[in-house]
A and B are shown apart, each in its own frame.
Chain A
Amino acid sequence: MNKLEVNNLNLFYGENHALKDISIKIPNRQVTALIGPSGCGKSTLLRTLNRMNDLVPSVKISGEVKFEDQDIYAGHDVQQLRMRVGMVFQKANPFPMSIYENVAFGLKAQGMRDKKQLDKIVEESLRSAALWDEVQDRLDTSALGLSGGQQQRLCIARTIAMEPEVILMDEPTSALDPIATHKIEELMDELRKKFTIVIVTHSMNQAKRISDKTAFFWMGELVEHGDTHQVFNQPQDQRTQGYVSGEFG
């Protein structure tokens, strides 16, 4: 079953044709990795999936992006969509408030006021993000005091708290050291049981380690998409072959 389905998607930033006729299916409860050199359009594609590109004034989009068979660009409620399709950013971006408030933010934005329920969800989310043990005795302190890896796990907890169906991750470990990266990857292995994950990554080893499906992008085109094992071991396209073998990119 496919959670997300992109059909003939074209995206322009002004005159710049950033995504060229992309069609891709994202299967449910699997990890799909989007790889390719910088500027190839993989992050842009990720940001069309929860309509973050709406923030860019000059952006033009044609084609369709279906989330559970509904075109998200056809009058879909954007806030509703972003609750169901959460996002973790390249650089951990906790809000300048307490750890607790960070996790409760999205729920409070939806009007949840029940303190007991909030407490419960905050704890569950922090546990799911493997952060609870490290922060349970300082939930009221500023999130900015956490380490980079902890901050990123906090951002994951914040996203999980909304109980999304899909989590988009935009190079979530590129600013982290190997140990923190390892923790996030372990966490993703847990998360794949409950969520559909789409991750943009620059690290081919990371894609190999964590993903079920891999899509390789090149200059705005989707060159190759398939099982991770196959894309890395028997790439069909010359360009994929060159990229995954480290010849360029």
Chain B
Amino acid sequence: MNTCTKTNDSGISHRHTPKPDRLGTFFHLVFICCAMVGVVSLATIAWFLFSEGLAAFRQAGVIELVFGSEWLPPALFGIFPMIAASLISTLGAVLTGVPVAVLTAVFLAELAPKWLADIVRPAVELLAGIPSVVYGFFGLVVIVPAIEVLFNIPAGNTLLAGIIVLAIMILPTVITISETSIRALPPVYKEGALALGASHIYSIFKVLIPAARSGILTGVALGVARAIGETMAIIMVMGNAPAMPGSILEPARTLTANIAMEMSYATGIHASALYSTGIVLLIFIVLLNTGLLYINKKRVH
């Protein structure tokens, strides 16, 4: 009896569904293919970086390359100054840019009168669309001379100039994502805080921002990714000397700038060393992303 019913069921389903089934399978494959594009790209990038860059690691030695402080191709391939420059410029940009961005987001989401928000929000969104080479111009014309005057130094092309330009560049990402996550909070958080007699500002800092922090951290992660990967604007304002900067008022070269500036003429082991610079960059980005994801998850629970 049971078996009979089963056969009957499958018989019916076979008679009625062959067409949708094929269509379903087809779309299933389309979805998988689309999803694979990203993964395959990442794998390809990692594969060619490693296949090209491993030669330099083998010849110069991992320690000498990563922790060496002299970049004198084709003899010495120490990229530690660039690692430092990348980390310092990104960290500096995040430390200065994120507070400004989060406060802007709070202002837009909670405090700004509608007409003002309608001016600030499109301006911020436009900022996101400006090509980085234009940020470079802006840095060259405004920030670099300003640093020369303010600190009384001969050349304003410094780490500090890079930090400021990067800080501005990450603003739109962090602002937009933070504002969205603050707006997405259920209104009961704010109402609950106000109903206890807390002021609006206190409620913002003690309830709304902490409640929205996972979204804000996502914005920060994207901002960090943009800052560490930025190349063009950095080359234009940071001076690009491949030596360890003694302070933020000295020129420096980031990992990305190193690759972009020398790739056009590098050959042999020199070219391979540039690929290994890319490997280091990739590893940093993976570490940063995992780190932020981890913090995010931990905080949420």
A contact set with B: CB distance below 8 Å? 50, 52, 55, 79-83, 86-87, 89, 91, 93-97, 105-106, 108-110, 142, 155, 158-159, 162
Q: Once the chains bind, are A95 and B195 in contact (CB under 8 Å)?
A: no
Mind listing 5 A-B residue pairs with CB under 8 Å?
A82-B194, A82-B195, A91-B188, A96-B189, A105-B206
Bound form: Cα–Cα A89–B188 in Å: 8
Q: Report A143 CB to chain B, min CB distance, Å.
A: 11
Q: Once the chains bind, are A106 and B197 in contact (CB under 8 Å)?
A: yes
Query: Does B125 touch A at the CB level, under 8 Å?
Result: no
User: Within 8 Å CB of A142, what residues of B?
Assistant: 301
Most buried by A among B186, B194, B202: B194
User: Within 8 Å CB of B188, what residues of A?
Assistant: 89, 91, 93
Q: Once the chains bind, are B191 and A80 in contact (CB under 8 Å)?
A: no
Q: Once the chains bind, are A55 and B211 in contact (CB under 8 Å)?
A: no
User: Within 8 Å CB of B198, what residues of A?
Assistant: 79, 105-106, 109
Smallest CB-CB separation from A97: which chain B residue?
B210
Most buried by B among A89, A94, A95, A158: A95
Q: Once the chains bind, are A86 and B196 in contact (CB under 8 Å)?
A: yes
Q: Once the chains bind, are A93 and B206 in contact (CB under 8 Å)?
A: no
Q: Once the chains bind, are A109 and B197 in contact (CB under 8 Å)?
A: yes
Query: Does B99 touch A at the CB level, under 8 Å?
Result: no
Known: A50-B195, A86-B195, A89-B188. A96 touches B210 (CB 8 A): yes
Q: Once the chains bind, are A95 and B192 in contact (CB under 8 Å)?
A: yes
Q: Once the chains bind, are B196 and A82 in contact (CB under 8 Å)?
A: yes
Bound form: Cα–Cα A117–B278 in Å: 57
User: Within 8 Å CB of A106, what residues of B?
Assistant: 196-198
Smallest CB-CB separation from B187: which chain A residue?
A55
Q: Once the chains bind, are B197 and A82 in contact (CB under 8 Å)?
A: yes
List CB contacts (< 8 Å) of B46-88 with chain A. Answer: none
Q: Once the chains bind, are A95 and B189 in contact (CB under 8 Å)?
A: yes
Q: A89-B192, A109-B206 are in contact. List 9 more A-B contacts (CB 8 A).
A: A79-B199, A83-B196, A89-B195, A93-B188, A93-B192, A95-B211, A109-B202, A158-B196, A159-B195
Q: Once the chains bind, are A155 and B192 in contact (CB under 8 Å)?
A: yes
How many residues of chain B have a CB within 8 Å of chain A? 20
User: Within 8 Å CB of B128, what residues of A?
Assistant: none
User: Within 8 Å CB of B190, what residues of A?
Assistant: 55
B contact set with A: CB distance below 8 Å? 186, 188-199, 202-203, 206-207, 210-211, 301
Q: Report B33 CB to chain A, min CB distance, Å.
A: 39
Known: A79-B199, A109-B199, A109-B202. A95 touches B207 (CB 8 A): yes
Q: Once the chains bind, are A93 and B197 in contact (CB under 8 Å)?
A: no
Most buried by A among B186, B190, B195, B206: B195
Smallest CB-CB separation from A82: which chain B residue?
B197
Q: Once the chains bind, are A52 and B191 in contact (CB under 8 Å)?
A: yes
Bound form: Cα–Cα A109–B195 in Å: 12
Smallest CB-CB separation from B207: which chain A residue?
A95
User: Within 8 Å CB of B203, what residues of A?
Assistant: 109
User: Within 8 Å CB of A97, what residues of B?
Assistant: 210
Q: Once the chains bind, are A55 and B194 in contact (CB under 8 Å)?
A: yes
Bound form: Cα–Cα A95–B204 in Å: 12
Q: Once the chains bind, are B197 and A89 in contact (CB under 8 Å)?
A: no
Smallest CB-CB separation from A96: which chain B residue?
B211
User: Within 8 Å CB of A110, what residues of B?
Assistant: 197
User: Within 8 Å CB of B194, what residues of A?
Assistant: 52, 55, 82
Q: Once the chains bind, are A159 and B191 in contact (CB under 8 Å)?
A: no
User: Within 8 Å CB of A86, what residues of B?
Assistant: 195-196
Most buried by B among A91, A93, A94, A108: A93
Q: Once the chains bind, are A162 and B192 in contact (CB under 8 Å)?
A: no
User: Within 8 Å CB of B196, what residues of A?
Assistant: 82-83, 86, 105-106, 109, 158-159, 162
Bound form: Cα–Cα A82–B196 in Å: 6
Bound form: Cα–Cα A159–B211 in Å: 20
Bound form: Cα–Cα A79–B194 in Å: 8
